[in-house]
């Protein structure tokens, strides 16, 4: 072996040793059912960041329960995690690393619309970034639309056009829509330029029922439900079925019928989270935006799943690099879309899927628009992501469930039963906001301590 070759090999060995020594390892919490997809995403990440090794920690529980168990067992938190579980709990435990120092000057962050950027912000700090999204929507049976000789609406359709189609589709054989559960809650945000779901005003941090579309949305729901046969599921009667008798749903559609799946219902009030089963219906369909009030303009309800970093990570820069890759990086999101575009089922047959990203970056929009598997209505929704309000405030607002189910929902039931909303709305608003106010007070006290503890935690980890 010549001296030159020996020298070259020696240099290569030294360089390889340096690369191995320079590699940083971070951990990523992955649900058991998502391991294979995560492996592919990590492989794509490593094409860009070969010196960051991502080790998976798998779990099959609720994220909050999983992290609680790890802390109780004295195990370190994963560096990067994703989820959709209740968020205030995660914040008040002091487990999260705010993203602000990383996203503040990131050129790609500007393509994330304000509704999404602010989705998990407390006291001015960004505790999570988007993982993927879902929209409230209406699944429209395009075949039945044609069969009934009804006009195909545009994605900018109005509430009046929506009502007209439901009425015209309701016959002895067909119904207009399958259900209207929480339709009023979502439409309260669609019909008001400042409100989100249930008439909650995010800018004020409280319910604004007296000066919002909350009561009008309930009236819309009540109007539709009053038309005989229009809402197919309203024809069901469990008490009759338990007695072995046929209810009106069975009389209309058949004893064991699934009217929506069988193409007997024009629309379904669902979300894009229902894609996995909606794609199996035997008729042509599209996911339509919720109909708009022309006086208000286009507004849609969005649900945001999140990416978080642990406050105890020893490698925040590397953890952020991976978090961004699966969140709002145009390179990362495009890779995630391509992976799902090439999904196969257990038999090795093509079964493409998709995620809805939380960015409007032109590269991402172009890729999303090019995907045949994505319904055209969903593409339209993403192109209008900057016109959304939060439909999943239960994830982020302290006291939300208490305010909704103990105050707001019972009041809505009273109105649906005939009570004039004007006689109760002020009292309902006041009671609901008292619940939110107290919960926020408790949360803020804990958050203040978390912010102080975070500074000390980071000093200890960074050796300052």
Higher pLDDT, 13 or 326: 326
Asked if domains 25-134+304-387+447-462 and 136-302+399-443 share a fold, the reply is: yes
Confidence of residue 10 (pLDDT cuts 50, 70, 90): very low
Confidence of residue 212 (pLDDT cuts 50, 70, 90): confident
Quick one: tokens of 207?
């319910």
Confidence of residue 61 (pLDDT cuts 50, 70, 90): confident
The closest alpha carbon to 177, from 190, 166, 165, 163, belongs to 166
CB 171 within 8 Å of CB 230: no
pLDDT in tens, 371-422: 999 999 999 999 999 999 999 999 999 999 999 999 999 999 999 999 999 9
pLDDT surpasses 90 at 336: yes
Cα distance between residue 112 and residue 359, in whole Å: 4
Domain borders along the chain are: 25-134+304-387+447-462, 136-302+399-443
Question: What pLDDT was estimated at residue 3?
Answer: 53
Quick one: tokens of 445?
């006290």
Calculate mean pLDDT across residues 167-181: 98
Question: What pLDDT was estimated at residue 199?
Answer: 96
Is domain 25-134+304-387+447-462 in CATH 3.40.50.2000, yes or no? no
Question: What pLDDT was estimated at residue 2?
Answer: 54
* Domain spanning 136-302+399-443: CATH superfamily: Periplasmic binding protein-like II (3.40.190.10)
What is the torsional sign of CA 41, 45, 46, 51? negative
Quick one: tokens of 183?
């339709």
Which stretch of 8-22, 148-162, 260-274, 426-440 has the lowest confidence by average pLDDT?
8-22
pLDDT surpasses 80 at 11: no
Question: What pLDDT was estimated at residue 14?
Answer: 41
The per-residue pLDDT of the chain, averaged, comes to 94
Rounded to two decimals, the pTM is: 0.93
Quick one: tokens of 188?
């309260």
Q: Which parts of 284-361 fold into alpha helices (H)?
A: 316-325, 330-341
Q: How many CB atoms lie within 10 A of CB 453?
A: 12
Cα distance between residue 253 and residue 248, in whole Å: 8
Question: What pLDDT was estimated at residue 18?
Answer: 41
Q: Which helix (H) or strand (E) holds 34?
A: none
Beta-carbon contacts of 127 under 8 Å, excluding residues fewer than 6 positions away, are 87, 90, 91, 96, 98, 99, 120, 121, 308
């Amino acid at each position: 072996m010549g001296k030159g070759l020996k020298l070259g090999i020696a240099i290569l060995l030294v360089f390889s040793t340096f690369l191995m020594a320079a590699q940083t390892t971070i951990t990523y919490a992955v649900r058991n059912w998502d391991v294979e997809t995560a492996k592919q995403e990590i492989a794509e990440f490593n094409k860009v960041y070969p010196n960051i090794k991502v080790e998976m920690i798998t779990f099959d529980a609720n994220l909050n329960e999983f992290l609680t168990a790890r802390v109780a067992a004295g195990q370190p938190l994963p560096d990067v995690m994703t989820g959709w579980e209740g968020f205030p709990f995660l914040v008040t435990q002091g487990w999260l690393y705010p993203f602000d120092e990383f996203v503040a000057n990131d050129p790609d962050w500007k393509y994330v619309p304000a509704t999404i950027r602010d989705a998990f912000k407390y006291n001015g700090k960004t505790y999570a970034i988007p993982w993927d999204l879902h929209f409230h929507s209406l699944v429209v049976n395009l075949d039945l639309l044609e069969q009934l000789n009804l006009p195909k609406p545009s994605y900018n359709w109005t509430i009046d056009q929506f009502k007209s189609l439901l009425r015209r589709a309701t016959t002895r054989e067909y119904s207009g829509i399958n259900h209207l559960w929480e339709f009023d809650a979502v439409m309260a945000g669609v019909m008001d330029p400042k409100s989100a779901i249930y008439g909650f005003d995010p800018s004020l941090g409280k319910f604004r029922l007296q000066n919002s579309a909350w009561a009008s949305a309930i009236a819309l729901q009540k109007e539709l439900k009053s038309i005989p046969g229009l809402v197919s599921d309203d024809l069901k009667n469990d008490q009759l079925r338990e007695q072995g008798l046929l209810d009106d749903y069975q009389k209309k559609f058949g004893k064991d019928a699934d009217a929506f799946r069988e193409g007997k219902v024009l629309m379904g009030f669902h979300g894009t989270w229902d894609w996995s089963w909606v794609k199996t219906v035997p008729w042509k369909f599209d996911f339509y935006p919720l109909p708009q009030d022309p006086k208000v303009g286009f507004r849609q309800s969005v649900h945001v799943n999140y990416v978080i970093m642990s406050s105890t990570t020893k490698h925040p820069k590397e953890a952020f690099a991976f978090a961004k890759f699966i969140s709002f990086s145009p390179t990362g999101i495009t890779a995630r879309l391509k992976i799902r575009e090439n999904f196969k089922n257990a038999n090795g047959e093509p079964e493409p899927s998709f995620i809805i990203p939380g960015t409007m970056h032109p590269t991402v929009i172009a890729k999303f628009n090019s995907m045949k598997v994505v319904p055209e209505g969903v593409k339209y929704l993403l192109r209008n992501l900057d016109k959304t309000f939060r439909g999943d405030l239960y994830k982020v607002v302290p006291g939300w469930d208490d305010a909704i189910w103990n105050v707001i929902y019972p009041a809505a039931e009273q109105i649906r039963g005939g009570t004039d909303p004007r006689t109760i709305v002020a009292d309902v608003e006041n009671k609901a906001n008292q619940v939110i106010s107290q919960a926020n007070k408790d949360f803020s006290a804990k958050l203040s301590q978390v912010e102080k503890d975070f500074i000390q935690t980071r000093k200890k980890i960074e050796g300052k």
